[in-house]
Amino acid sequence: MQTLIQTYESARKEFTNWCQKLELTKPKEGDVNLFLEANPRYSDRTLISWNRSLKQQLAALKKISFDESYIVDSLYRPMHRQFAYFHQPVNDMVYLLPRLFPTAAHDNIGVVLTGAASHYDFGLIATNLLPNLHTLDTGQFFPRWTWEPVKAPEGELDFGMGASESSKPGTEGDILDGYRRVDNITDEILGIYREALGSDVTKDDIFYFVYGQLHDPGYREKYAADLKKMLPHIETPTSRARFDQLAAAGRELMDLHVNYEDVEPWPVTVDLKASADESDRETWRVQKMKWAKKKDSETGKNVNDVTTLVYNKSVTIRDIPPEADEYMLGSRSALAWIIDRYRVKKDKASGIVNDPNDWADEVGNPRYIVDLIAKVTRVAVETVRIVEGIREVGEEK
């Protein structure tokens, strides 16, 4: 990102002179395109990628400087965290995200859904990180909170822009660094649910209920056709017992999915070749993982053995429960996402190498990816168990 901004700033200075020579007082994006065509060194994809937002910044002759405070944790793909530089001048089409995560200090939690008309079956995952547009196919994010700017009354000094002393973190009305936390579950919806189910229903209950309902196999089967065309609709529940069941399941599922790196690892077997040194950093270096193969008993063809993962030439992970493969997140199972994302890959255009081993070194744990596989296995197995537990009596498996 520092290289991109440095390249932009060099281009901005030269573009300013270019506009002065042509007597352009209000340059437009088209002028930027002409400038870049005339100066191809500023279009080197190994240095910068020009999106619409960045071109608009250049047309306005706006300065951009690098600031480490804009580096945040994001959920790039399911079970795959990645640092993001979240600053509007260099991000394209951020829409409402600055109101959901205005700074790294402002927490949020929400649900990423596969978008309407997705290529894949309906799926969702909860996260407390900045989501990517393509976390699940091309998806949509439904946050619990919005952070709205708080302005001091005109003529008064701003003494209340820090953390609020009267509110608890994670509660509606909490004020932090000039923003107030607003609950996206409205009082109107709360009133409807309380009228239907009882006055002790809370907004937290509704939030977890929705997450549980969207995991209910019966709901997905009943509305399968609609979920391929539109965002889900949830009827107001009439049974308090069923509501409580789904809310409890939703709370448990959300805790698993948000805190997947903190769960108890599943007791998989990690086999090392006799020649491998467990204390050697290189033993745990990953290049590209793959499932082991086995013969299909019916067809005789080689198929993936989802109980055994070939980590690298020295390490094989065995005894993965087969049901872990049943936890699907859009186009792949949770573990298949790990295989897809945690591999060394070089972007052809930019030359940037994405190496998951760097993160293992960053956190000081050479076994980080192996441990993550065991944890995601736990998440997958527990998710399948919980989801089957909320299937209503009479529904076929």
Residue by residue, DSSP assigns 23-62 as: T-SS--HHHHHHHHHH-GGGG-TTT----HHHHHHHHTT-
DSSP-based three-state secondary structure for 190: helix
Q: What is the pLDDT of residues 282-297, one digit of tens each?
A: 999 999 999 999 999 8
pLDDT of residue 170: 77
pLDDT of residue 297: 87
Which has the closest alpha carbon to 19: 29, 9, 31? 31
pLDDT of residue 155: 52
pLDDT of residue 278: 95
Instruction: Say how many Å lie between the first and final Cα of the chain, rounded.
Output: 49
pLDDT of residue 166: 36
Q: Which residue has the tokens 């998989």?
A: 268
pLDDT of residue 151: 80
pLDDT of residue 92: 86
Domain regions of the chain by residue span: 2-59, 95-183, 187-258, 269-275+282-371
Q: What is the pLDDT of residues 49-65, one digit of tens each?
A: 999 999 999 999 999 99
Instruction: Say if residues 337 and 80 touch (Cβ distance below 8 Å).
Output: yes
pLDDT of residue 21: 96
- In this prediction, the residues of the chain whose per-residue pLDDT falls under 70 are 152-169, 393-397
The one-letter code for the residue type at 364 is G
Q: How many CB atoms lie within 10 A of CB 378?
A: 20
pLDDT of residue 162: 44
The one-letter code for the residue type at 256 is L
Element of type H or E holding 98? helix 97-100
